[in-house]
Amino acid sequence: MAERASRSTVRLDANVIQRAACAGADPETFFVREADTAAVELAKDICRGCPVLRECLMQGLRSNDHFAILGGTTPEERRLIRRRVAYRRAVAA
């Protein structure tokens, strides 16, 4: 079973939070076990079409958060993105 994190684990820019599609949503909606596909899809549905989706994703990648759905991605999806970026940088060097 995945660990749960407090909402304070994720430190998003206040401007991003105010403009986000999830601004009025229950924060617990975004702290779900990845195995709970229905809950993950619910959170991602809120993210789809968000005006600050990219900013949220970038902050999620920088924060190395292991718990929340951020920028429409799960922690595992962000790990894969970071690995791809690191690989591309290594190949380019």
Binding site, residues?
22, 47, 50, 56
**Cα(17)–Cα(22) distance, rounded to whole angstroms?**
8
As beta bridge partners, residue 73 has 70
CA–CA distance, 68 with 5 (Å, rounded to integer) = 8
Q: Annotated binding site for [4Fe-4S] cluster, which residues?
A: 22, 47, 50, 56
